[in-house]
């Protein structure tokens, strides 16, 4: 996920990270968002999201779920 950069296309992200576990349409932010579940070295799971604008380019990303991001999006 460290290779995912703002402005990349959704296709580029799919090549790097594969499909997310779920994809949602944002309510407060624009566009769509993919949820990923990353495994830490200690075996625990960590939520990670990648949000896309209306043109399918990465708008934001980070260590929370799409649903959590959508409550207070950074535009």
List the pLDDT tens digit at each of the 75 positions of the chain: 889 999 999 999 999 999 999 999 999 888 999 999 999 999 999 999 999 999 999 999 999 999 999 997 765
| CATH 3.30.1450.10 given to domain 10-70 | yes
Q: What are φ and ψ of residue 66, in 5° steps?
A: -60, -40
Strands in 58-62's sheet, in edge-to-edge order, are 22-25, 32-39, 45-52, 58-62
Give the predicted TM-score (pTM) of the model.
Answer: 0.89
User: Looking at residue 75, what is its pLDDT?
Assistant: 53
User: Looking at residue 1, what is its pLDDT?
Assistant: 86
Secondary structure of 21-75 in HEC code, one letter for each residue: CEEEECCCCCCEEEEEEEECCCCCEEEEEEEECCCCEEEEEECCCHHHHHHCCCC
Query: What would the two tokens of residue 59 be?
Result: 């708008």
User: Looking at residue 72, what is its pLDDT?
Assistant: 77
The ranges assigned to domains in the chain are: 10-70
């Amino acid at each position: 996920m460290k290779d995912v950069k703002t402005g990349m296309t959704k296709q580029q992200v799919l090549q790097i990270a594969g499909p997310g576990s779920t994809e949602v349409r944002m309510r407060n932010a624009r566009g769509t968002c993919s949820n990923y579940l990353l495994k830490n070295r200690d075996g625990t799971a960590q939520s990670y999201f990648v949000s896309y604008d209306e043109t399918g380019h990465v708008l934001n990303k980070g260590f929370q779920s799409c649903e959590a991001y959508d409550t207070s999006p950074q535009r």
